[in-house]
C-alpha cells in the first residue's frame, strides 16, 4: 500500500487553532489507563465499564481521556471541566458556555490507534480503520456502496481492492460524521472516489447536484496498516499533524 502524507504539514503550537486551519492528532491507545481516570465524567466511566474485555475498556478510557486533554489545550480549562452535549443523532459537541469560538471536533479509533480532528466554525468528521482482511468485503460493498462505487471496485485488480474498499469506507464514514446524520444518512445515497492513488473526493450527493461542491475530503495515512480520512464543509487549506505523546 502506498503511504501518502498529509497536505501542507506544518509544526503545531498547542492551544493555537487559527482561521481555517485543521489540526489532526493521532494517539496510540495501548498505554496504562490509570492516569486518565480523573479526567473522565461519570457517564464516560459507566460506558467504559460496559466493555467485556479489559483491553477494550482501557482503550476507551485512554481514547476519551486524550480527547479531553487535547480539547483542554485549546479551551484553556482543565480536562475534567469539559462538558459535552449531543445532537439527536448522538454527535458530540462542546456545551456553548465553554465554546465561545465554536471549536468543532471529531474522534475515531480502530484497534490501538485514535485520530482527533479539530477546526473552528465548520463541521468536521474523521474516520480511521485498521486495514485487515474482510472475507465478505464485496457483499458489504454491494450493501452499502453506490452502484458506481461498486463498479469501480470490481474493475480493480484483486491486490488493490482491499485498499479501495477501506478508502471508500473511511471517506463515507467521515462525511456522515461531519454532517451529524449518522446512521440516518444511507451510505449508498452519495458517492466518493475510492481508486488507490487518486485524490479523495466527494463526487455526488443524491438529490442535490451542487451539494458535493460544498464539501471536501482529505486522506490521512497515520500509520502503517491504517487508512483514514476527514471530511468538512468548505475548502481544506492548512492541515497540521501531530502525534500525542504525553
Backbone angles phi, psi at 116, to 5 degrees: -130, 125
pLDDT at 96: 66
Percentage with pLDDT > 90 across the chain:
59
CATH no. of 22-127+236-243: 3.90.470.20
Q: Mean of the pLDDT values across residues 181-189?
A: 75
Q: Give 132 or 5, the one with higher predicted confidence.
A: 132
Does 132-221 carry CATH code 3.90.470? Answer: yes
CB atoms within 10 A of CB 190: 24
Place of cell 474482510: 134
Q: How far apart are CA 77 and CA 72, in angstroms?
A: 5
Q: What's the pLDDT band for 245 if we cut at 50, 70, 90? A: confident
Q: Which long-range contacts (CB under 8 A, 24 or more apart) does 95-103 make?
A: 99/75, 103/17, 103/71, 103/74, 103/75
pLDDT higher than threshold 70 for residue 2: no
Domain ranges of the chain: 22-127+236-243, 132-221
Q: Mean of the pLDDT values across residues 210-217?
A: 85
> All 3 cell numbers of residue 128?
480511521
Q: How far apart are CA 104 and CA 158, in angstroms?
A: 39
pLDDT higher than threshold 60 for residue 65: yes
| pLDDT tens track for 130-148 | 999 998 999 999 999 999 9
Question: Which pTM was predicted?
Answer: 0.90
Question: What's the full length of the chain, in residues?
Answer: 246
pLDDT at 98: 62
Percentage with pLDDT > 70 across the chain:
89
DSSP class per residue in 141-198: HHHHS-HHHHHHHHHS-HHHHHHHHHHHHHHHHHHHHHHT-GGGS-GGGEEE--STTS
pLDDT at 1: 35
| pLDDT tens track for 192-213 | 999 999 999 999 888 676 777 8
| pLDDT tens track for 67-86 | 999 999 888 889 999 988 87
* Contact criterion met (CB below 8 Å) for 236 and 40: no
Q: Mean of the pLDDT values across residues 88-108?
A: 78
* Contact criterion met (CB below 8 Å) for 131 and 228: no
Computed over every residue of the chain, the mean pLDDT equals 87
Q: How far apart are CA 77 and CA 234, in angstroms?
A: 29
The 3 state secondary structure assigned to 7-71 is CCCCCCCCCCCCCCCEEEEEEECCCCCHHHHHHCCHHHHHHHHCCCCHHHHHHHHHHHHHHHHHH
> All 3 cell numbers of residue 230?
476527514
132-221 shares the fold of 22-127+236-243: yes
pLDDT at 237: 82
| pLDDT tens track for 227-237 | 999 999 888 88
pLDDT higher than threshold 50 for residue 21: yes
Amino acid at each position: 500500500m502506498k503511504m501518502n502524507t498529509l497536505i501542507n504539514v506544518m509544526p503545531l503550537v498547542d492551544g493555537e487553532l487559527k482561521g481555517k486551519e485543521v489540526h489532526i492528532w493521532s494517539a496510540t491507545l495501548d498505554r496504562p489507563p490509570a492516569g486518565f481516570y480523573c479526567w473522565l465524567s461519570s457517564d464516560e466511566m459507566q460506558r467504559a465499564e460496559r466493555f467485556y474485555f479489559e483491553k477494550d475498556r482501557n482503550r476507551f478510557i485512554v481514547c476519551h481521556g486524550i480527547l479531553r486533554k487535547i480539547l483542554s489545550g485549546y479551551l484553556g480549562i482543565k480536562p475534567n471541566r469539559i462538558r459535552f452535549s449531543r445532537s439527536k443523532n448522538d454527535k458530540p459537541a462542546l456545551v456553548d458556555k465553554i465554546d465561545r469560538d465554536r471549536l468543532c471536533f471529531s474522534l475515531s479509533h480502530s484497534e490501538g490507534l485514535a485520530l482527533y480532528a479539530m477546526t473552528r466554525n465548520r463541521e468536521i468528521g474523521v474516520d480511521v480503520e485498521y486495514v485487515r482482511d474482510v472475507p465478505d468485503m464485496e457483499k458489504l460493498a454491494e450493501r452499502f456502496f453506490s452502484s458506481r462505487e461498486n463498479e469501480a471496485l470490481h474493475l480493480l485488480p484483486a491486490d488493490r481492492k482491499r485498499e479501495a474498499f477501506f478508502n471508500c469506507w473511511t471517506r463515507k464514514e467521515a462525511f456522515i460524521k461531519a454532517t451529524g446524520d449518522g446512521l440516518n444518512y444511507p451510505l449508498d445515497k452519495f458517492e466518493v472516489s475510492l481508486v488507490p492513488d487518486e485524490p479523495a473526493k466527494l463526487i455526488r450527493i443524491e438529490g442535490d447536484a451542487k451539494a458535493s461542491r460544498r464539501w471536501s475530503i482529505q486522506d490521512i495515512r497515520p500509520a502503517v496498516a491504517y487508512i483514514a480520512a476527514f471530511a468538512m464543509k468548505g475548502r481544506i487549506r492548512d492541515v497540521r499533524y501531530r502525534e500525542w505523546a504525553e
